[in-house]
Structure 1
Amino acid sequence: MKAPQQVPTRTASPFSSASPAVAVLAVGAALFLAGCGESAKLPPEVTVGPRPQLAEPNKTLIPTVNVAPAVGWTDVAMPTPAEGLKVTALARGLDHPRWVYTLPNGDILVAESNKPPKPGGGATDGGDGPVAKIRNWVMGKVMGRAGAGVPSANRITLLRDADGDGVAEVKQVFMTNLMSPYGMVLVGNELFIANADALVKVPYTEGQTSVSANPTLVTQLPAGINHHWTKNVIANADGSKLYVTVGSNSNIGENGLAAEEGRAAIWEVDTKTGEKRMFASGLRNPNGMGWEPETKVLWTVVNERDEIGSDLVPDYLTSVKDGAFYGWPWSYYGGIVDARVTPQNPAMTAKAIAPDYALGSHVAPLGMVFSRPGGMPEQFASGAFIGEHGSWNRKPKSGYKVVFVPFIGGKPSGPPVDVLTGFLSPDEKAQGRPVGVALDKSGALIVADDVGNAVWRVSKAK
C-alpha cells in the first residue's frame, strides 16, 4: 500500500492540562484468584431507565471477573428471536466480525477485526498495572475463539443477498490491509473507514465487490496502546461532517491522563478537509451512534467504568450535545464523584451532565441503530436496536443479547425489549456475542456476532 496522504487537523481535549491519575492498587500475584469478587446486591432493573437507582460503590481488592467462556455455535445453531421475528444466518465462517454497514444497493459490508498489536509487540492491554494483567490474563483464558491475542483479519468483507432469502449468495473480500477497522460510512462516492489509528477513505462505485485503491488519510486518531481500540464513524444528513468515536485508554485514567489526550470523546471531522474538533467529551467508551429520526439529534451508546461493584456503573444510551462533558473519569451520572480518581477535578465534575437512559450495569452496549417503520413488526417501528456484547465484571452476567429501546417524541419511552437472545448457553457459555447492528435495505435487522463468527438477519416472521 502507498503511504496515505495527510490533511490538516486541530485538536482540543479536557485532559490537556490535567495531572496523572493515581495508579490502581497493586494486587501482586493474585492472578489465580481473578474469578473472585462480590455478587450483585441489587436487582438489575434498578440500573435501567431514565432515572436509575444507583448502588453504593463497592471496590474489592480482586476485581469481579465473570466472563462467559467462548464456545461458538454448532453448524446449525443460532440465537433465538423474539415472538413475531425470525432469524437466518446471513453468513457464517467469518473472522471476528465486529461491525456491519449497509450500502445503498443492499450489499452489507462487514468489518472483520480484532485489537491491534501493542507498540513494540504483543497484544494491547491498556496498561501494565496488576489489575490490567489480571483482566487480560483471564480474558485470554476464557474468551477462546473471540479472544485476546488472536490476530486481526484487518479486512472488510462484502455480503450480497440478491434473492432476499436472508442468506448471502456472495461472500467476497472487499478490502484488506487495514488497521483493526471498525466503523464505515459512505458519503457520495467515497467510503470512509475508521481504523484503530486513523480515519481513511477510498473511492466507491455502486455495485463494486472489491476495492483496489489505496486508502487516503483523512485524519489521524488517538492510537498507541489502546485500552479501547474500536472507533466508529457516521455522517450528518448532508455529508459535510463526520462523527468519530474514540474510547478511553483506561478504566478511570490509571495510565495517566496524558494518555487520554483526545480520547473518551466524539470528534466532528470536516468531510472535505479532515479538520476536526472535539464535539463531546467525558464519554468513557462510546461506540454505536445514530441520528434520532424525529428530532435529528445525535445519540450514542457508552460503556461506563468497571471495578466498583456488579451494579455500578450502568452503561447508557444518550443524546449527545455539542460541547457537552459527560463526567469521565472524575464522575458518573452527572456529578457522582468517583473517589478512586486522583487528583479530583471539581470544576469538571460541576460541568458533567447525566446521560438520558441507563441500559444496565456492564451490559457492554456496542452497536446501535434507530429503527424505521415497515421492515420489522409495528412494536419495533420507533426506537433503537442495541447490541449488548455482555459483561465481564458482573455477577450475575448481564448483556449478551440484542435489545430494543422504544422511543416516543424523540426520547426513550419504556424498558428495553429483548429482540435476539440465546447467545449464552444453558451452562452460561458464549455461543455468540452481538456487536454491530444495522438495518438492511428492506428494514430487517443485521447483527454482527464476533464470537459466533456469523452475521445474523432478523426479520418479520412469515
Structure 2
Amino acid sequence: MKPFLMAALAASVSFAGAALAQDTTAGDTKAKVDNLEKLGSFKQTGVAEPAPIPQTGRRADAINRTLQKIKVPDGFKIELYAVVPDARAMAVGPNAGVVFVGTRKSKMYTVTDRDKDRVADEVKVYAPGIDFKIPNGVCFSRDGVLTVVEQNRVLAFPAAEFFYEGTDGPAVVVVKQGELIPPAEESYNHTARICRIGPDGKLYVSLGQPYNVPPKDKADLYAKTGIGGIIRMDADGKNREVYATGIRNSVGMDFAPDKTLWFTDNQVDGMGDDQPPGELNQITKPGQNFGFPWYGGGGVRTVEYKDDKIPADVVAPKAELPPHAADLGMIVYKGKSFPEKYRGGIFTAEHGSWNRTTPIGARVMFVPVNKDGTAGKPEPFAEGWLTEGGEYLGRPVDVATLPDGSLLVSDDTAGAIYRISYEK
C-alpha cells in the first residue's frame, strides 16, 4: 500500500472512535447511520452502486449549444467537461485528478477522465450509502484526504481517490451533526459551506450567517461560534477557533502562494441595483474583521447599523465586485498553461443576480493581483450565460484547475462542468 494511503488510513482510525457511534442525526435513517459507522470501521455497507450519469443525449447537446455562445479571450476555448447534476463546489484529487463535486442537495459526485482526453468518461454518485445534507463544501489535503462540509457536519474520507471506484471507503466524522453551528441557527438561507486545507494543515470553513442583515441580539453568539465568519480547526476537528469575522456569506476562498487567504463575500440585498458592491478580501493574519454588518459591502453602511460605531480595525476589501452579481467560488490561479497575465491572479464565478431590476452576472471574472499584493480591476473572462433578454442559460458556481492548468467551471443550473483551456 502506498505511504500516503497508510498515513491517511491510520489517521482515520485514530480519530474515528466514539464520534461515529454517536452520530445520530435526527433526519437520518438508522440504515444510513449504520452505514457511516460501518465505513469508519472498514466494513462493507452492501449499498448498490447507482447508475452513472449519462454523458450524451439531449442534455449534453443543449449544453454544447449554449457553449457556442460563450465568449472567452483570444487563444482560449471552452468545452463541456462533464454533465453533473446540481454541480457546485469542486475539489480536484491531488493524485489522479479525479474531480469530487458537492451540491446543495443530498448527493455528491465523482468525475473521471480515464483516457485523459480532457473530457469526462464517467460521472457517478459518491458514497451513496451516506445521507448527506447540503454537502456543498469539498476540499483535499495534500496527502489525499477529502473533507466534506455539510450544512452542520464535517466528514473526512481518507484516500478518497483510491476508494471512490466502489461504493465503500473509510469515512470519519470530524465535526458531529449539530456541532458546526448551533442547531437553532440552521436555516434555509446561506447554507452552502466551503472549505480549504491551509498551508498549516488546518481545516478552514466559512459559516455564512442566515440573515440579509442579522439582528443585534445575535452578535455575541455569532462572534463566539464564527457564524458570519471563517473558522479553522485541526484536521481531526480539535482546537477550533474563529479565524476571521465581519463576513456576510462567503462561498469562495483560496490560499495564495504567500499563505494569505483570499475570499469572496456576497453583500446585502435590497439596497438598490447599484449598491453595495460585492467584495474580494484577503486575510493576512488571524482575528481580522471585514466590516459586516456595519457595512453592507465596500464602504456602504447598512440601514440597520448606520448609527452604530464601526470597529476600529475593519479591513477594507482588496477589490470591489459588481453589485449583486453573486461572486461565489474562487481560486488563485497557480497553473502554468495560461499566459503570464493570469498567473497568480484570481478567477471568480459569478452566479448571477436574483433581485436586480436588470440582471447581472452569470460569468467568470478575472482579478489581477500585482506583485505588491494589490488587486487590479475585475474583468470578464468568460461570459454569455445571461442573454440580452435577461434569461440565464447557466449559472457558474465554482472554479478549479486540473493538473494540466486548465480551468474547470461548475454550473448548478445547467448541471454541468466546463473546461477552459489555452492553446498557444
Same fold by TM-score greater than 0.5:
yes
Matched, 1:322 2:300: no
d(CA) in 1 for partners of 2:160 and 2:153? 23
Q: Deviations over 1:204-259 (max 9, x none)?
A: 254433452464321232252142001111011242x1110011110111595268
Aligned match of 2:73: 82
Trace 1:430-441 onto structure 2 (pairs within 5 A). 430-441=392-403
Task: Indicate the structure whose relative CO is greater, using CA pairs within 8 Å and at least 6 residues apart.
Answer: 1
Question: Which of 257, 271, 278 lines up with 2:242 in the alignment?
Answer: 278
d(CA) in 1 for partners of 2:411 and 2:385? 9
Q: Percent of pairs identical after alignment?
A: 29
Matched, 1:190 2:145: yes
Question: Which of 112, 118, 123 lines up with 1:160 in the alignment?
Answer: 112
Aligned CA distance change for structure 1 residues 189 and 322 (closer, same or farther; 3 Å): same
- Asked if 1 retains the 8 angstrom alpha-carbon contact of 2:267 and 2:297, the reply is no
Question: Which of 329, 351, 354 lines up with 1:389 in the alignment?
Answer: 351
d(CA) in 1 for partners of 2:379 and 2:299? 29
Instruction: Give 1:337 shift.
Output: 3.5
Aligned match of 2:20: 4
What is the count of residue pairs matched by the alignment?
Answer: 354
Instruction: Give 1:390 shift.
Output: 0.9
Question: Which of 252, 261, 264 lines up with 1:301 in the alignment?
Answer: 264
Aligned match of 1:289: 253
Greater share of helix: 2
- Asked if 1 retains the 8 angstrom alpha-carbon contact of 2:368 and 2:378, the reply is yes
- Structure 1, unaligned runs of 5 or more: 8-70, 115-151
Aligned CA distance change for structure 1 residues 297 and 75 (closer, same or farther; 3 Å): closer
* SS at structure 2 position matched to 1:109: strand
- Asked if 2 retains the 8 angstrom alpha-carbon contact of 1:249 and 1:255, the reply is no
Matched, 1:218 2:149: no
Aligned CA distance change for structure 1 residues 254 and 445 (closer, same or farther; 3 Å): same
d(CA) in 2 for partners of 1:317 and 1:408? 14
Matched, 1:310 2:262: no
Aligned CA distance change for structure 1 residues 414 and 326 (closer, same or farther; 3 Å): closer
d(CA) in 2 for partners of 1:255 and 1:430? 36
The answer to which of 277-286 and 191-200 deviates more is 191-200
- Asked if 2 retains the 8 angstrom alpha-carbon contact of 1:286 and 1:301, the reply is yes
* SS at structure 2 position matched to 1:76: helix
- Asked if 1 retains the 8 angstrom alpha-carbon contact of 2:319 and 2:375, the reply is no
- Structure 2, unaligned runs of 5 or more: 1-17, 24-58
d(CA) in 2 for partners of 1:333 and 1:391? 15
Aligned match of 2:88: 98
- Asked if 2 retains the 8 angstrom alpha-carbon contact of 1:4 and 1:214, the reply is no
* SS at structure 2 position matched to 1:80: coil
Instruction: Give 1:364 shift.
Output: 0.6
- Asked if 1 retains the 8 angstrom alpha-carbon contact of 2:149 and 2:155, the reply is yes
d(CA) in 2 for partners of 1:255 and 1:390? 29
* SS at structure 2 position matched to 1:97: coil
* SS at structure 1 position matched to 2:359: coil
**What RMSD, in angstroms, separates the aligned Cα atoms of the two structures?**
2.6
Aligned match of 2:7: none
* SS at structure 2 position matched to 1:411: coil
Trace 1:61-210 onto structure 2 (pairs within 5 A). 74-77=62-65, 78=67, 79-92=70-83, 94-104=84-94, 105-111=96-102, 113-114=103-104, 152=105, 154-176=106-128, 177-187=131-141, 188-204=143-159, 206-210=161-165
